[in-house]
Amino acid sequence: MKELLLKGGALMVPLLLCSIFCVALILDRLYHFIRVRRKARTFYERMVALIQREKIVEACKSARSQPGPVAAVALAALERIGGEKEKCEEAVRRIGSRELRKLERYLGGLALLAQTAPLLGLLGTVTGMIRVFMRIEAAGGATNVTLLAGGLWEAMLTTAAGLIVAVPALVASHLFEGKVEVIAAEMKEIVSVILESRTGFAAVEPAIDPAPVEDVYGI
């Protein structure tokens, strides 16, 4: 491994750093989403049952004991049942936006790594090819296949390294973005169930819109 890093040139160092950051970000988001999704379906079914029976106090206790964005927006709506619909809507929007920001944290970094790593690899290949032709020129054009092949595979190392970093970063970024959209839809759904179960809030439209997610931020 050390020999490959040395032969790949100076750009192997930033690519190595990119790979470390990529693994760290993927593990962080993976842990976060596993924690958020733990017992999520059971919580939703329990919450719906409590709301349908109008056991608001028990529903609030259940939402407080459950981690994750769905429970957070459910609690925000439950605590404001019977109040002004504008205040309830604003609270749900504010808390929903905050929870979505938590879910989307570092996803931009993963997307950036997926775009940057292949470019660094390509740059390393180009600079490596330049070195190969400089050697050929220095040898007065008298070269052999071994020298040429050796220089070429060294130049291609950075391209391979860049793709090795970019592919998992790109896949993870898209998968996590899909999870965010699913959770945003669940947030909208639970708020709808809560608000529509009470006569005073029957006309309130949930403030969480999962498609696109950026709309929640007002962008």
pLDDT of residue 17: 93
In the prediction, which pLDDT does 115 show? Answer: 94
* Domain edges within the chain: 2-201
pTM of the model: 0.76
Residue with tokens 């970000």: 25
pLDDT at 212: 40
List the pLDDT tens digit at each of the 219 positions of the chain. 666 666 667 888 899 999 999 999 999 999 989 888 777 778 888 888 888 887 888 888 888 888 888 888 988 888 887 777 778 878 888 999 999 999 999 999 999 999 999 999 999 888 888 877 777 777 766 666 666 666 677 778 889 999 999 999 999 999 999 999 989 988 888 888 887 775 444 333 444 443 343 333 333
